[in-house]
Structure 1
């Protein structure tokens, strides 16, 4: 188990951001992995974060257990499973900067289209589309496995479907809870789920739960219009950070 104070100085704010993100503010945890990577290797950080995310999943799924959309999950699930499988198969050769650029570019264009296209904000909900659901589900599963950032692709599919605030959050909670559960096997196969990493994750569970409850409390007190405005803004910021970081890494 990690005992260095410098690790927890980075881990506590990182886990707090994950809790707020799991509580409904999807995307706010974009700084979590970079924070942890300042004090430990990205591989170890990913292994420690996964159990923390799973504990937060339990809290969020229970809180929104009556508000979720089965159709969104059904459309996204096949692509997400394929994305996780791809992430596992190519874990040793993945070009992380390229992944960040692709996801970042898609997220930025998606938000700009929403903000700049006349009538986009008042357009009726889009019908489900198997092709876009499979593609975005695949990207979400893949990026969730590789860099723990699967939120933007999910948002890009779910938000145009006109879901109510709590239904959107509940659907996202179930989607990523399932993804994180499926990721356990591949992470074990890759040798990342050690007892030391699990013990370190367990120390962070109280922070994870409290910050998650805080996120849920805040979301439920926001009007739906304000909530979606924040989610679009967070999706854009996450996309921009991923895009800039990916370009810098390549250069």
Structure 2
């Protein structure tokens, strides 16, 4: 492994932690980096383990801010979404998967831009059962195939008018549970090889450092500035995957 590859993976691990305690969309850069420097299928398992490390820090810090009523509406559709994502992973090759990840990130970024353009000062909307089920299904599929459900959740929580700490706490608990559910699916697909596990062990401390930095940054910068950075990062990383 070259120095450049090690550096890129270190940056990706840092951003995983940073995104977990600040704004989740920044993890899209990490997803893109892992999918570029590693075989794409194995990259989904490697980054999953790092995401869980970041989840632990985020859940602990925001443990009093999660909205359980929102989570109860989403959970019933997540498992079917995970199953569909696992089936998709089982039948596509690396090139199709990499480009699918990029296309999915672009679609999520476009949806976020559309939502902001239509309603920059979004307030809570009707809590549709269909919207919750659709979000759960989409989040399950997106997270299983690309670890990219953050944008799906962002759309749902923004539409509900969720304020910043409640947003972070609800997302942290949701993704911790979802990512744990993904572990047996990825294991069943044979994605947790010895190299993946050893790489995760080396990068885990970098995730913790990133999470610490995210906690301090989140206190100082506005949600609007975070959101703008997330959209730019998502678009750039998605284009890198699609055009590679």
The answer to whether the superposition gives a TM-score over 0.5 is yes
Note closer, same or farther for the CA distance 1:211–1:157 as it changes in structure 2 (3 Å cut): same
Which residue of 1 is the match for residue 20 of structure 2?
22
- SS class of match (1:12): helix
Does 1:216 find its partner at 2:219? Answer: no
Which residue of 1 is the match for residue 48 of structure 2?
50
- SS class of match (1:68): coil
**1:145-166 deviation line (CA, Å, top 9, x unaligned):** 1111111111000112122211
Normalising by structure 1, we get a TM-score of 0.85
8 Å contact from structure 1 (residues 108, 239) kept in 2: no
**1:209-243 deviation line (CA, Å, top 9, x unaligned):** 01111111211233xxx21x135424533553476
Name which of structure 1's ranges 201-210 and 90-99 shifts more when overlaid on structure 2.
Answer: 90-99
**Partners in 2 of 1:38 and 1:239 — Cα distance?**
15
- SS class of match (2:24): coil
Runs of at least 5 residues in structure 2 that lack an aligned partner in the other structure: none
Match of 2:235 among 230, 237, 240: 240
**Partners in 2 of 1:4 and 1:244 — Cα distance?**
24
Q: Which structure has greater helix proportion? A: 2
Note closer, same or farther for the CA distance 1:8–1:164 as it changes in structure 2 (3 Å cut): same
Residue 4 of structure 1 and its aligned partner are, at CA, apart by 5.4
**1:21-52 deviation line (CA, Å, top 9, x unaligned):** 11121211222133233432122222222221
**Partners in 2 of 1:106 and 1:162 — Cα distance?**
18
Residue 100 of structure 1 and its aligned partner are, at CA, apart by 4.2
1:174-193 correspondence to structure 2 within 5 Å: 174-193=173-192
Note closer, same or farther for the CA distance 1:104–1:78 as it changes in structure 2 (3 Å cut): farther
8 Å contact from structure 1 (residues 61, 170) kept in 2: yes
Q: How much is the aligned-residue C-alpha RMSD, in angstroms?
A: 2.4
Runs of at least 5 residues in structure 1 that lack an aligned partner in the other structure: none
**Partners in 2 of 1:126 and 1:113 — Cα distance?**
12
**1:127-153 deviation line (CA, Å, top 9, x unaligned):** 311111211221111111111111111
Does 1:230 find its partner at 2:225? Answer: yes
Does 1:112 find its partner at 2:114? Answer: yes
8 Å contact from structure 1 (residues 104, 238) kept in 2: no
Which residue of 2 is the match for residue 143 of structure 1?
142
What is the number of residues matched between the two proteins?
Answer: 240
1:9-88 correspondence to structure 2 within 5 Å: 9-88=7-86
- SS class of match (1:90): helix
Note closer, same or farther for the CA distance 1:221–1:184 as it changes in structure 2 (3 Å cut): same
